[in-house]
Amino acid sequence: MSNVLAEFGYGEADIKAKIDYAFNEIFRGGNRFYFEVDDGDFHGGYMVDTGNDDVRTEGQSYGLMLAVQLGEREIFDRIWDWTVRYMHVAEGENAGYFAWSCKTDGTRNSDGPAPDGEEYFAMALLFAERRWGEKSYGDWARAILHEMVHKDNEPMFDPATKIIRFVPNAPFTDPSYHLPHFYELFAKYGNAEDAEFFRDAARLSREFLHKACNNETGLNPNQSQYDGTPTEWGGNRSYFYSDAYRTALNIALDWDWFAADPWQRKQAAAIQKFFEDEKQFDYVHSIEGEVITPAFREPDASETGMLHPLALKATTAAASLASDGDLREKYVRLFWALELRTDKRRYYDNLLYMFSLLALGGQYRIL
């Protein structure tokens, strides 16, 4: 994996220290949002979305991925055990999926799933099987992938387009859910009968991202139709906002792992060019780059509607993994100077910062 931080002069010891510090702040420090529970023979762990005071499959699956990447097996097992105990749906129309949101005591807020969580669960579990030689991890992953593709009532991949859905019953998608680098590995490590499906899904997701990302700005909508056009399904969903910040990191990591789509280099350069004037980080934008004065402003957002500025800066910097532009070093140095959030909204921002740090430091790896 590329180590862009080392490329621009940062020492291995300093990179490791930065990774260790960020991981410990998330999982062990005074501003952590990972917590453990011990109840008899049950030893669980959960990641709190501090902005919404709940536990989400997003956060649980991200926690698993960070733990397996950095070899933290106890944390991995605690998070997975909590997830299975409280989030796995055993019956009803969502059987085989995971409830996307729970209270911190495990009570479900919903039985409905969110496909981004399932994608990360499957990939983290497959990596865990390979890293620690425990087949049960892989068995869980392959069961999840089977449901995502084959579930009779509501599969997570649209059968006609092989595109990941926003939720199983929604006829639209979320560009940040598109993980072609994961799909390549699902084809290799997952269910043999679905290998062709996932190779197609990887190709089609890359083609979809060409349509969803604006060629001039590099920006993509929060949610979109299957043809990439922004959905008008309420609020901020057609803007470059929140979920959408993950797409640049996903594209950059896909390039770093597989280098299958040279367009990704142009997209990475475009989004870095758009934010060259760093004042742009303070605003919500349309995908064409127009500043939006939001009527939808969420609690804790800035006056301009920005809710996750650290996440946006970190993932734009992560685009340096792929960019063929001349701003790569500028963003690496900007990233190195960033500090973790300590306020109520630290969950999402610090997780995307952590993934960007691993990617730029060559530690977000195929295991």
d(C-alpha 274, C-alpha 261), whole Å? 21
- The residue among 328, 185, 360, 336 whose CA lies nearest residue 256 is 360
Write down the catalytic residue from 25, 49, 58, 349: 58
Are residues 206 and 254 in contact, defined by beta-carbon separation less than 8 angstroms? Answer: yes
Residues 238-242: contacts with CB within 8 Å, 24+ apart?
Answer: 238/286, 238/287, 239/284, 239/285, 239/286, 239/287, 239/292, 239/294, 240/284, 240/285, 240/286, 240/287, 241/284, 241/305, 241/307, 242/307, 242/308, 242/348
Write down the catalytic residue from 116, 118, 243, 254: 243
Query: Does residue 56 sit in helix, strand or coil?
Result: strand
46 CB neighbour count, 10 Å cutoff: 25
Q: Which two tokens stand for residue 39?
A: 């109840």
Q: Is 243 one of the annotated active-site residues of the chain?
A: yes
For 250-307, the three-class secondary structure string (H helix, E strand, C coil) is HHHHHHHHHCCCCHHHHHHHHHHHHCCCHHHHHCEECCCCCEECCCCCCCCCCCCCCC
User: What's the Cα-to-Cα distance from 284 to each of 72, 106, 234, 246, 271, rounded to whole Å?
Assistant: 36, 34, 16, 15, 14
232 CB neighbour count, 10 Å cutoff: 12
Q: Is 58 one of the annotated active-site residues of the chain?
A: yes
Beta strands in 34-126 (DSSP E): 34-39, 42-49, 54-56, 101-102
Catalytic residues: 58, 243
